[in-house]
Amino acid sequence: MTLEIAPEKIAAVCRYLRDELQFVRLSAVTAVDRYPAEPRFEVVYLLHSIVRNQRLRLKCRLPGEAPEIDSVTGVWRAANWYEREVFDLVGVRFRNHPDLRRILMPEDWSGHPLRKDYPVTGQKYNYTGEAL
Amino acid sequence: MTLNMGPQHPSTHGVLRMILELDGETVIQASCDIGYLHTGIEKECEQKTWQQVVTLTDRIDYLCPLTNNLCYCLAVEKLLGLEIPPAAQWMRVLLNELTRINSHLIWLGTHSLDLGAMSLFLYCFREREDILRIFEMFSGQRMMTSYFRIGGLALEPPRGWQQAVGKFIDAFPSRVDEYEDLLTRNPIWMRRTKGVGYAALEDLLDLGVTGPMIRAAGLAWDIRKSEPYSSYEEFDFDVPTRTEGDVYARYQVRVEEMRQSARIVKQALDGMPSGPYTADAPQVVLPDREKMKTQMEALIYHFKIVTEGFRVPEGEVYQVVESPRGEMGYYVVSDGTSKPYRVFIHGPSFGNLQGLPKMVEGRLVSDAIAVLGSIDFVLGDVDR
């Protein structure tokens, strides 16, 4: 089942789902780039309740210019890396995320590879080595 | 002291980089730096036709390639609404369980190698060699088999496959007994793994951990039982659990899972239904090769499917399977064309690695090695 949620309400909705409806597990947070449709980004939350044996999908549409949404790491700690991955590959910022930085691409990469307007062949990059 | 357990390290099971803050030998803080194996598979999937993506999926969790294939094929078959014949479903289960045994053998071999029990490594790989020969018999490839396709199997099973699989599975339980003889009551093994790497069940679930680690912490959650797929509900097997939640418990759970998988393979072998190995969907499934050479319609279908690809109706699906590491899921979005619009791969190791700091902080560096082995992650899963 899929629910479309207004982006401002996502943290409250997730907290309710975890506390009242036992959706204790967050399977993943991911994003789909619907370029050139607006609102451009669709952030998808995949929830799971073991007790009820049910899965739920939440979707939030965000505009293409400076997309931002509240982080749900306060509800499920699992969201930490998934939101970092969405930030890294798609470019959506998560407010109040404890550690929002790139996770898969090198730290000084520019651009967000999974966007539809990012070339498949990538871009030239000189590996400079990272600080510890 | 900050210690970099760098991407090149024999015990990090791939290119994982751990940054450990140490006080003597005790780990105060651990953090993971991933992304060294990121090859952009998800972006690549958007450029290929639906059938071509199957070969990409093999390489994500390369220690259980058939499981990846299965998950992706099930997801697309759901979108297409295809009905897969029972013979194909049972064959998928059989090969999937052989893949689970394969993956657990690698886990056991490398885990014990890390902790010093080096001879077990070669015994596990001796068994694995038999499994790889079986895969080669089926698909021509030892590892990246791509044997499951959308609509069924890629090729008909080869002549003599029952003897090969039967020979392996009859000898296998006694081999598992051999491994248990070497490790389960071994005082060094018990000292190194009992009580190590414990984390509470609620913490593990909250951090996104799935699979044998959850079962070793007490919750009997197996997707093959709770959300059965590909006719798993027709098979009779147990879901092993333990309550201690440490590295030793995970070891016991996975060894027991190997035995249960052998049970499933035996049932599949004995009761394999006869019938077609691909769905009756000429728009999606490549026609028989001989028919293609002699009949015009078959030739046209073959040409269209290979060059243009087939179209999948608009929609999206999140399909999960129980991979040897946990919950593997494919979130597939289709926009009605012959290429996927978005494929998000939920690799179980990505979530499992998030639990690492909790299990390692406050313990010694050598315990960190034991915990890394017990998580059984694959960097292909993590980084894609």
Greatest pairwise CA separation for chain B in angstroms: 75
Interface contact B4-A132, CB threshold 8 A: yes
**Quick one: chain A helix, strand, coil %, rounded to 5?**
20, 25, 55
Distance from CA of A63 to the nearest CA of B (A): 18
Q: What pLDDT, in 10s, does the model give residues A85-121? A: 999 888 888 888 888 888 888 888 888 888 888 888 8
Residues of A in contact with B223 (CB under 8 A): none
pLDDT at residue A132 tops 60: no
State mean pLDDT over B80-109: 91
What percent of chain A is predicted at pLDDT more than 70?
95
- Is the Cβ of B208 closer than 8 Å to some Cβ of chain A? yes
What percent of chain B is predicted at pLDDT more than 70?
100
Interface contact B43-A120, CB threshold 8 A: yes
Distance from CA of A68 to the nearest CA of B (A): 21
pLDDT at residue B10 tops 90: no
Interface contact B43-A81, CB threshold 8 A: no
CB B358 within 8 A of CB B329: no
Cβ-proximal residues to B327 (8 Å cutoff; 6+ apart), any chain: A27, B210, B211, B223, B320, B321, B346, B348, B351
State mean pLDDT over B290-308: 88
Nearest CA in chain A to B356: A78
DSSP track, B205-229 = HHHT--THHHHHTT----HHHHS--
Nearest to B2 among A26, A28, A132 (CB): A132
State mean pLDDT over B348-377: 88
Q: What pLDDT, in 10s, does the model give residues A54-83? A: 888 999 988 888 888 888 888 888 888 899
State mean pLDDT over B256-261: 92
- Is the Cβ of B222 closer than 8 Å to some Cβ of chain A? no
Q: What is the mean pLDDT of chain A?
A: 85
Residues of A in contact with B384 (CB under 8 A): 104
Residues of B in contact with A43 (CB under 8 A): none
* Residues of A engaging B, defined by a Cβ cutoff of 8 Å: 2, 24-28, 30, 32-33, 44, 46, 50, 53, 55, 57, 76-78, 80-82, 89, 102-106, 113-114, 118, 120, 122, 132
CB A83 within 8 A of CB A97: yes
State residue A129's pLDDT score: 64
Interface contact B333-A32, CB threshold 8 A: yes
DSSP class of B278: B
pLDDT band at B208 (very low <50, low <70, confident <90, very high): confident
Model ipTM value: 0.89
Residues of B in contact with A30 (CB under 8 A): 331, 344
- Structure token digits, residue B284: 């999606």
Interface contact A26-B333, CB threshold 8 A: no
Domains in chain B with CATH codes: 48-383 (1.10.645.10)
Nearest alpha carbon to residue B95 among B13, B176, B178, B155: B155
Q: What is the mean pLDDT of chain B?
A: 89
Instruction: Tell me the residue length of chain B.
Output: 384
CB B35 within 8 A of CB A105: yes
State mean pLDDT over A28-35: 88
Residues of B in contact with A44 (CB under 8 A): 331, 344
Nearest to A27 among B34, B327, B333 (CB): B327
pLDDT band at B114 (very low <50, low <70, confident <90, very high): confident
H-type helices in chain B, by residue range?
Answer: 41-45, 53-58, 65-80, 86-115, 119-139, 161-183, 187-193, 201-207, 212-216, 223-226, 247-270, 289-294, 296-307, 348-354, 356-360, 365-375, 379-383
pLDDT band at A131 (very low <50, low <70, confident <90, very high): low
Residues of B in contact with A80 (CB under 8 A): 354
State residue B61's pLDDT score: 87
Nearest to B383 among A33, A104, A122 (CB): A104
pLDDT at residue A19 tops 90: no
pLDDT at residue B67 tops 60: yes
Distance from CA of B208 to the nearest CA of A (A): 5
pLDDT band at B72 (very low <50, low <70, confident <90, very high): very high
- Is the Cβ of B36 closer than 8 Å to some Cβ of chain A? no
Interface contact A76-B208, CB threshold 8 A: yes
- Is the Cβ of B43 closer than 8 Å to some Cβ of chain A? yes
pLDDT at residue B39 tops 90: no
Q: Phi/psi at A28 (nearest 5 deg)?
A: -165, 160
Lowest mean pLDDT among B10-14, B45-49, B233-237: B10-14
**Cβ-based burial of B88 (10 A; exposed 0-12, middle 13-18, buried ≥19):** buried
State residue A130's pLDDT score: 59
String of b and e for B199-231 (b: at least 16 CB within 10 Å)?
A: bebebbbbbbbbbbbbbbbbeebbbbeebebbb
CA–CA distance, B36 with B9 (Å, rounded to integer) = 13
Q: Which of A73, A104, A107, A130 to mutate to test the interface with B (most CBs of B within 10 A)?
A: A104
Q: What does the angle CA B207 – CA B343 – CA A127 come to, to the nearest 5 degrees? A: 75
Interface contact B318-A57, CB threshold 8 A: yes
Distance from CA of A96 to the nearest CA of B (A): 18
Residues of A in contact with B44 (CB under 8 A): 120
CB B48 within 8 A of CB B62: no
CA–CA distance, B94 with B23 (Å, rounded to integer) = 49
Give residue limits of the domains in chain A: 2-95
- Torsional class of A23: left (φ above 0), alpha (ψ -120 to 50), beta (otherwise): beta
Q: Which of B318, B354, B384 to mutate to test the interface with A (most CBs of A within 10 A)?
A: B318
- Structure token digits, residue B155: 């090729």
Give the homologous superfamily in CATH for domain A2-95: NADH:ubiquinone oxidoreductase Nqo5 subunit (3.30.460.80)
